Amino acid sequence: MIRVYCDIKESTKAEINKTINDYLDLYMDFYRTLGPEEFSSFFPQFLWVENEELCIKTMIELDLWTSDNYLHTLKPIHEFALYILLCYSKDRIEEMGREKSTTDLDHEVEQTDDEYILSDLDNMDFYLEILFQDYDFLRVSEYVKYFIQNPFDFQGTFNVDLTEYEDLMPNDIRKEFNDLKQSIYPTEIIKQHSNGIIRDMNMKEFFLHIEKIIDYFSHSLTLRGTHKLLWNENGLPKKETSAQQLLESISRLYCESNNIDITPEAETGRGPVDFKFSYGNNLKTIVEIKRGSNKLEHGIEKQTVQYMLSEKVETAYFIIIILFENEFRKVDRIFELAKSIEVRYNLIIRPIIIDARASKLSASKIQNVESVK
């Protein structure tokens, strides 16, 4: 039987399942005699066109699950089909002009929930209340659109795992969703260690981890389409914080897996640095992210140097996000300043140049841009 979200007797739950199965049997008969098209109205049109077999399988499973003795928890695609079935059944009952049980209207007779349900097993409104914990399966298109536009605050806004609803997405939208999700939450860069903790990490290993994170960040923006997250729909670039949010999203899971501490907006005593990464008390670095339109010379020569001195950091990363072609002209000067700073202060700042322009170059030209890193 399928799960019922109501504190009632098992025998009553069984009766509910039997009633639903009776309604399903009607459509199963149509399916056997008239063909699979009889199921098409229970699913979004795109889903029936793209994956008819999955739709048929879903209806057959609903029929089986409402008639066996196992307890089944429905997936969103089953919930969607069941919801439509209940709505259709409700409409058919109303068209037939069936009157409600007189017991429903008798306020003088006190009834338990079980008695109330059993007195009117065709009450579809009640089924719509007790067979679903929520109606998120009806809002998938809304959720996906919001996620694509605002992936950083989606989870905090809706508390929904969209991965569970992929069956209800068109093929192209599912691919776009997964590509974006993978860019933001890259599972392949996670390296598991015993008990999830790295022990006795040396400086070389620490910086290899940091550079792996930055490399993936650069790769996502340059070659995986994640640069779109830095642009508004009106064609104007978003604020610098969008790039910072993206790096934090990419870094967080990796750092937790490898016991590396990441602190966004870390206070240095001379202002907040964008990110501080550390392992224990001795291994640490800072990362600054700047848009190409900003005052880059001041950012690397004044701010980053001061942050490094305040935090006693010897190596840092200065990431420049290029959003417009003319910003590339500033790149050479930043590399010159990085060399000058190393001589003057004995501090190593590694500039990272990332092409995040809205209009991307061909693959061959992107490779040339990458060579300036």
Residue 363 pLDDT > 60:
no
Name residue 261's beta-bridge partners: 278
Contact 81, 87 (CB under 8 A): no
Query: Torsion-angle region of residue 56: left (phi > 0), alpha (psi -120 to 50) or beta?
Result: alpha
Q: What integer pLDDT is reported at residue 233 of this predicted model?
A: 84
Place of tokens 């670095």: 285
* Each residue's pLDDT tens digit, 252-264: 888 988 899 999 8
The more confidently predicted of residues 47 and 104 is 47
What residues does each domain of the chain span? 10-137, 141-178, 185-370
* Each residue's pLDDT tens digit, 322-335: 999 999 999 999 99
Give the pLDDT band (50/70/90) at residue 200.
Answer: low
* Arithmetic mean of pLDDT over the chain: 87
Percent of the chain with pLDDT over 70: 88
* Helix (DSSP H) and strand (DSSP E) numbers for the chain: 15, 5
CATH code of domain 185-370: 3.40.91
Give the pLDDT band (50/70/90) at residue 149.
Answer: confident
Q: What integer pLDDT is reported at residue 113 of this predicted model?
A: 85
